[in-house]
Structure 1
């Protein structure tokens, strides 16, 4: 069982998501951003390996405007060697990586333009995994999409669009049960109709389900993964933030709840992504618990790379998510 966290190491001094405004687009800016992003991603993976955190969800913004029509720069060729080196490192250290495209990726939208942009984004993110020469166990995680007033029609649209995806993308796509519209039962229906594996989210299942007990839901989701083509089933883990709206993720892992969830696995093997606000901090606590239970490899020996390095000339500052002010 591998433990991971998504996209950002909160304590690290660099970002793998450096970008710039679309109005400022230039090939020089693009090359500088991608160079910095790939260098930071390598450092981040090295730190994770030294800690025994062997699952990582990479951020979608490694190549700014990677699926946008403005980006005609041949970045695949320009950075081919760097992507291959990352893939070599990932395989050599038995890491598992994935992407979770943004919410604008909606394959079942009634809008052909939105569907086309969604496919282009999946192709872009899948191409990075292809450049790393990673097999089909490196996944692209998406949601079913919108309901649009008619559940069966919405699911049927997903089925139809899924069939049109390039084979290389289709081999990587997995679908996650969500907390508002499409619970596990709908995702299992999609699997039956398309073969798409179901990435199980325990917290979403707690928010929206048809009453399936957790251990049974885990078993049903795990059965949708092919052991060779898809690899060990993936799952997202989190829990409810106390005194917050239903569905808000907790800031830090609650050990008692995590131990209780692990007991629900009943021997099933999953690679577990912790969707918890403090990211690597909770991931370290989780992997320590799994080691105690004999469910994760012992802590690796050797030095742990530093989270901060002296800044080099021209090093961009760590990118921070912009706060959205709601009116």
Structure 2
């Protein structure tokens, strides 16, 4: 089991998402920005290893305008050694990483242009994992998309688009249940149609479900992951912010709820991403709980 958090480390003085305005584009800006972003990514991964946080979601903006036609800088070859070194570090320390493309990535849109740009974004983000030399257990996480007034047609379009994706994207793609439109059962239909694994979001399941108890829901999602090709089930974990609108994530982990959720896993091997606003602060506490329960080995830090 691994514990992680997404995109931003609030303990360090750097970011992996430095960018600039499209109107200010130049190859020189791309080169310097990517160099800084990759250096920060390595710092974050080193911090995470030191603290036994071995699951990390990399921010989508590592390469500014990475899927935009304006970006003609050959960043894939220029930074090949840096990407490979990061991948080697990830593998050497038994880490797992992923990307979660932004909400504009919609495979079931009726607009062909949106679908085309979505596919280009998936190709761009997947190519970074390829450059790192990581296998198919490093995933690209997306939602099923919109309803557009007709759930069945929307699901049919998603399936049709999936079948056109490059194999390099297919082997990494996973679909997440959301809190308003597509439940776990909808995502399981996509798995049945094309074999796409279902990334399970416990909080979204609490907001939108078909009556499945949490323990059953986790089991259903876990069964969609091939143990070798896909690796352990990925879970997004959060809970409701007290006193806020339904669906708003908590600012900090509520330890009693997290312990209760761990009981629902019932021995399932899973990697848990804490979608909680205080990032690594809650992740440290989650690691302590898992260590106390004997479900996570105490931190052992190899040489950096």
Per the alignment, residue 175 of structure 2 pairs with 175
Q: Which residue does the alignment assign to 2:61?
A: 61
Question: Does the alignment pair 1:95 with 2:95?
Answer: yes
Q: Distance in 2 between matches of 1:227 and 1:298?
A: 24
- Give the whole-Å Cα distance in 2 for the aligned partners of 1:101 and 1:255: 29
Q: Which residue does 1:217 correspond to in 2?
A: 217
Mapped contact 2:49–2:301 kept (Cα < 8 A): no
Change (3 A) 1:157 1:49: same
Q: Measure how far apart 1:11 and its partner are.
A: 1.8
Kindly report which structure 2 residues correspond to 1:1-327, keeping only aligned pairs within 5 A, or say none: 1-301=1-301
Following superposition, the deviation at residue 174 of structure 1 comes to 0.0
Supply the distance in 2 between the matched residues of 1:301 and 1:112 (Cα, whole angstroms). Answer: 48
Contact kept in structure 1, 2:241 and 2:249, CA below 8 Å? yes
Following the alignment from structure 1 to structure 2, what is the Cα–Cα distance between the partners of residues 151 and 235? 25
Alpha-carbon distance in structure 2 between the residues aligned to 1:146 and 1:12: 36
User: Matched residues in 1 for 2:74 and 2:297: separation?
Assistant: 40
Counterparts of 1:280 and 1:137, CA distance in 2: 22
Deviations 1:264-315 (A, max 9, x none): 1111111000000000000000011001111111122579x9xxxxxxxxxx
* SS in structure 2 at match of 1:135: coil
1:215 Cα deviation after fit: 0.2
CA distance in 2, matches of 1:275, 1:155: 26
C-alpha distance in 2, partners of 1:49/1:89? 10
Q: CA deviation at 1:165?
A: 0.3
Within 1, Cα distance between the matches of 2:297 and 2:196?
Answer: 29
Aligned equivalents of 2:145, 2:266: Cα separation in 1: 31
Q: CA deviation at 1:21?
A: 0.4
Q: After the TM superposition, which of the residue ranges 294-303 and 78-87 deviates more from structure 2? A: 294-303
Shift of 1:225: 0.1
Query: Separation in 2 of the partners of 1:302 and 1:93?
Result: 8
Q: TM-score, normalised by structure 2?
A: 0.99
- Normalising by the residue count of structure 1, what TM-score does the alignment of the two structures yield? 0.92
1: distance between equivalents of 2:129 and 2:302? 29
User: What are the superposed Cα offsets for residues 2-29 of structure 1, whole Å, 9 maximum, x if unpaired?
Assistant: 0000000012100011100000000011
Deviations 1:166-216 (A, max 9, x none): 000000000000000000000000000010000000000000000100000
Per-residue CA deviations over 1:66-116 (Å, capped at 9, x if unaligned) read 000100111100000000000000000000000000000000000000000
Q: Which has the higher contact order (CA 8 A, sep 6+)?
A: 1
In structure 2, the partner of 1:318 is: none
* Aligned mates of 1:245, 1:99 — CA distance in 2: 27
Distance 1:147 1:105 in 2: 14
Instruction: Tell me the distance in 2 between the aligned counterparts of 1:91 and 1:255.
Output: 30
In structure 1, the gaps of 5 or more residues are 306-327
CA contact (8 A) 2:199 2:235 kept: yes
Query: SS at 1:142's partner residue?
Result: strand
User: CA RMSD of the aligned region, Å?
Assistant: 1.0
Task: Name the CA distance, whole Å, in 1 between partners of 2:156 and 2:139.
Answer: 22
